[in-house]
């Protein structure tokens, strides 16, 4: 029995802590179609599902004038008989041969996830994901992966497009300015970068400010929720992921951040995004000082407008809510035509995140304000649950919101800067999906082939009828009844439905 060659890196790379590209060299044999004086376009539609698709390799290539080679994935096609009968007939008619060709795989041919699965220990959690912030690739290595940080950094540096720096987070975000210590694993020690989000450009020094690419959908959700002309107080604005796009849509924005570095880049980002100065004003203050000062002073002026107070500091924002308690005396309390909304972020560790978040909020404020909480929304899951709470205190009633699903919601949105590294389970599901998809393609090809054959027979029959004489028309003729295109389509459609049911059963 012939052993099917696998496309994984060789076993000898397991446990490597320093990259040695030579150890990834692997010789295999793969099925290859030899096309001589045959147009690739006449064959490719029937075999494209079986092509050998690996990194930095072209499965279809011109060898010499008049000769082309088409390489198949050996895990799908091992011999000519593995191809559908219709495809076999087509290739035989074109005198196309299938041969086994030697092929050498190198480090450049293996994907990031393929290398990590081969190198890292199989019995522990591997590299689950990484994020890209401009030219910087950012990882959070667990303790058991620290011995492999050199090879992890090198692989990401080599294989992530436009990567110039790979950094690893050291410690947690627990300082005053929300940035974290990091070590450069590979590349330039250059952490000043730029990213694009919500049709805006943001420039900053990643080592000195807080930026999380995983929150781009949450930023977009809030920006879309707030209308042009609304008023926004951004208590912990950072470099402006909320404030800048809101000011661009002509909201009146008052943005604050305690970190001098964030304040510098916040103003810079307002400028490079050409935000009119009449739509924003920035402050470099402590959050409490900003609430007790600017928020209290300006709220009465906007009592007839929609006002949103954003508090995106999940580790500490709940502690700042006490500042709103008795912010105005009874004599000072404005007559709000539209009630302001406080949007506060917090961590909630546990499955019942809604009640955990509500309880934490009430305990911090020192009174039961559950009736004032108009919505609790889970933004995303980290090592803890991060829940978003919209809250209005006794003096500032809340406006009910209608949030949409976000990163961890039902309508998931792919984040271009966040990369998942597939695990064993997801790879098995992908393999099943690939097989079913291939079956659907084969059914579709069969359908097309049958329809083409029927069309040819109909054309021939029409030609015979035209050439028939009047006397011949009187004679009784035995005619073969041809299947209609409708019946063929129906028959193949039923097979397609069965295959689709397999897809649904796998919940792909």
| 448-477 pLDDT per residue, tens | 777 777 777 777 777 776 666 555 544 544
d(CA 395, CA 393): 6
The domains spanning 26-105 and 112-193 adopt the same CATH topology = no
Q: Please work out, in degrees rounded to the nearest 5, the angle formed at the alpha carbon of residue 384 by the alpha carbons of 379 and 385.
A: 30
pLDDT above 90 as % of the chain: 54
Contact call for residues 26 and 9 (beta carbons, < 8 A): yes
pLDDT at 75 exceeding the cut of 50: yes
H or E stretch at 205 = strand 200-205
Q: Which DSSP string corresponds to 433-499?
A: HHHHHHHHHHHHHHHHHHHHHHHHHHHHHHHHHHH--HHHHHS----PPPPPHHHHHHHHHHHHHHH
d(CA 304, CA 101): 76
Average pLDDT, the chain: 82
Query: What tokens does 445 get?
Result: 């090809």
**317 burial via Cβ count (<10 Å: 0-12, 13-18, 19+):** buried
d(CA 126, CA 353): 27
Q: Hey, which CATH number is domain 26-105, 3.30.70, 3.40.50, 3.30.430, 2.60.40?
A: 3.30.70
Three-class secondary structure of residue 193 per DSSP: strand
For residue 430, the model assigns a pLDDT of 55
Q: Average the pLDDT over each of 49-53, 315-319, 434-438 and give the range with the smallest value.
A: 434-438
- Binding site for S-adenosyl-L-methionine, residues? 219, 257-258, 286-287, 312
Q: Which region holds residue 112: left if phi is over 0, alpha if psi is between -120 and 50, else beta?
A: alpha
For residue 406, the model assigns a pLDDT of 24
pLDDT at 135 exceeding the cut of 50: yes
For residue 1, the model assigns a pLDDT of 46
CATH code of 112-193, in short, is 3.30.300.110
- Binding site, residues? 219, 257-258, 286-287, 312
Query: 206-233: per-residue pLDDT in tens?
Result: 999 999 888 899 999 999 999 999 999 9
H or E stretch at 272 = helix 260-272
Contact call for residues 287 and 234 (beta carbons, < 8 A): no
Contact call for residues 169 and 139 (beta carbons, < 8 A): yes
HSE-up of 476 (CA within 13 Å, CB side)? 0
Query: What tokens does 256 get?
Result: 């604050």
Largest CA distance in the chain: 111
For the chain, domain boundaries: 26-105, 112-193, 225-420, 423-446+482-508
pLDDT at 391 exceeding the cut of 50: no
d(CA 378, CA 385): 7
pLDDT at 413 exceeding the cut of 70: no
Q: pLDDT band at 367, cuts 50/70/90? A: confident
Q: Please work out, in degrees rounded to the nearest 5, the angle formed at the alpha carbon of residue 243 by the alpha carbons of 242 and 249.
A: 100
For residue 281, the cross-strand partners are 254
Three-class secondary structure of residue 150 per DSSP: helix
CATH code of 225-420, in short, is 3.40.50.150
**Which residue did the predictor score with more confidence, 155 or 459?**
155
For residue 436, the model assigns a pLDDT of 60
The pTM for the full model equals 0.72
């Amino acid at each position: 029995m012939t052993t099917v060659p696998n496309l994984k890196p060789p076993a000898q790379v397991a446990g490597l802590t320093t990259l040695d590209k030579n150890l990834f060299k692997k010789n295999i044999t793969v099925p290859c179609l030899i096309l001589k004086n045959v147009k690739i376009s006449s064959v490719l539609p029937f075999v494209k599902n079986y092509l050998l698709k690996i990194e930095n390799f072209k499965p279809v290539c011109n060898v010499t004038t008049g000769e082309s080679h088409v390489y198949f994935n050996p895990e799908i096609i091992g011999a000519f008989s593995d191809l559908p009968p219709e495809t076999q007939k087509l290739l035989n008619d074109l005198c196309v041969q299938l041969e086994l060709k030697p092929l050498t795989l190198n480090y450049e041919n293996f994907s990031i996830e393929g290398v990590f699965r081969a190198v890292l220990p199989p019995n522990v959690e591997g590299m689950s994901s990484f994020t890209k912030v401009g030219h910087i690739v950012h990882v959070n290595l667990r303790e058991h992966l620290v011995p492999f940080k050199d090879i992890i950094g090198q692989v990401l540096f080599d294989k992530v497009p436009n990567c110039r720096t790979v950094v690893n987070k050291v410690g947690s975000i627990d300082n005053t300015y929300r940035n974290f210590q990091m070590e450069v694993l590979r590349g330039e020690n250059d952490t000043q970068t730029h990213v694009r989000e919500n049709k805006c450009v943001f420039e900053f020094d990643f080592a000195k400010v807080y930026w999380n690419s995983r929150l781009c959908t949450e930023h977009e959700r809030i920006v879309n929720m707030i209308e042009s002309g609304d008023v926004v107080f951004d208590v912990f604005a950072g470099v402006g992921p909320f404030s800048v796009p809101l000011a661009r849509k002509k909201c009146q924005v008052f943005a604050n951040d305690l970190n001098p570095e964030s304040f510098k880049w916040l103003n810079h980002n307002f400028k490079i995004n050409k935000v009119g100065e009449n739509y924003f004003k920035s402050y470099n203050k402590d959050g409490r000082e900003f609430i007790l000062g600017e928020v209290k002073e300006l709220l009465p002026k906007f009592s007839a407008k929609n006002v949103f107070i954003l508090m995106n500091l999940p580790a500490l924002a709940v502690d700042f809510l006490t500042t709103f308690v008795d912010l105005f005396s009874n004599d000072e309390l404005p007559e709000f035509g539209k009630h302001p909304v406080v949007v506060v972020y917090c961590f909630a560790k546990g499955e019942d995140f809604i009640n955990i978040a509500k309880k934490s909020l009430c305990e911090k404020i020192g009174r039961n304000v559950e009736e004032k909480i108009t919505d609790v929304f889970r933004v995303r899951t980290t090592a803890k649950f991060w829940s978003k709470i919209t809250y209005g205190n006794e003096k500032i009633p809340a406006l009910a919101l209608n949030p949409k699903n976000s990163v961890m919601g039902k309508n998931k949105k792919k984040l271009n800067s966040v990369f998942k590294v597939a695990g064993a389970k997801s790879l098995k599901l992908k393999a099943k999906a690939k097989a079913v998809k291939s079956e659907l393609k084969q059914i579709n090809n069969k359908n097309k082939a049958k329809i083409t054959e029927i069309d040819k027979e109909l054309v021939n029959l029409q030609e015979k009828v035209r050439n028939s004489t009047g006397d011949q028309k009187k004679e009784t003729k035995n005619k073969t009844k041809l299947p209609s295109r409708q019946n063929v389509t129906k028959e193949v459609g039923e097979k397609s439905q069965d295959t689709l049911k397999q897809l649904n059963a796998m919940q792909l």
